[in-house]
Amino acid sequence: MVSAGFVNTTDIDTTASQNNIISTSTEIVSTSTIKTKTNSGVASKVKVYFSDAPIMQKIAYCESRNRQYSKDGSTLRGVVNSRDVGIFQVNEKYHLSDSKKMGIDIHTVDGNLEYARHLYESQGTQPWSSSRPCWGNYEKLAINK
């Protein structure tokens, strides 16, 4: 983490009788704060958030290896479809508008989890059927609608 800001100081000494500037100095200190988004703690958060739905823990692992962000801190995007985003690879084409209407930002950890919960409760595991070969052995843990 790096912090950002500027400090500008000017020291002015004056003589009482002449009001002349005797010396001036300027000091500029520059630092910047850049908070990089990381996947630290994401797997634990998935486990807690979906403690009542263990199949979703498996799906999160299969979809993204429990990652919300790429190494550069940007939202993780799918390899096959770049509109798939985050932990649960929620597709922007089909879900971005609805998620926004619900006040959910699928580009954040909490938002991706919340929208995945919504999908799971309304559609079961169907939205993640393309990754079924990875998590299918655990289907007995799922709610299927």
| pLDDT tens per residue, range 6-52 | 444 444 444 444 555 555 555 655 555 556 789 999 999 999 999 99
Q: Domain range for residue 17?
A: 3-33
Same structural domain, 130 and 93: yes
Same domain for 49 and 78, yes or no, is: yes
Residue type, 60: A
In a shared domain, residues 24 and 49: no
For residue 89, what are its two tokens? 């690879």
Cut 0.85: pTM above it: no
pLDDT digits (tens, 9 = 90+) for 84-128: 999 999 999 999 999 999 999 999 999 999 999 999 999 999 999
Residue 29, pLDDT score: 56
Residues 47 and 74 reside in one and the same domain: yes
Distance CA 49, CA 59 (A): 13
Q: What is residue 76's predicted lDDT score, i.e. its pLDDT?
A: 97
Number of domains making up the chain: 2
Res 27: pLDDT: 61
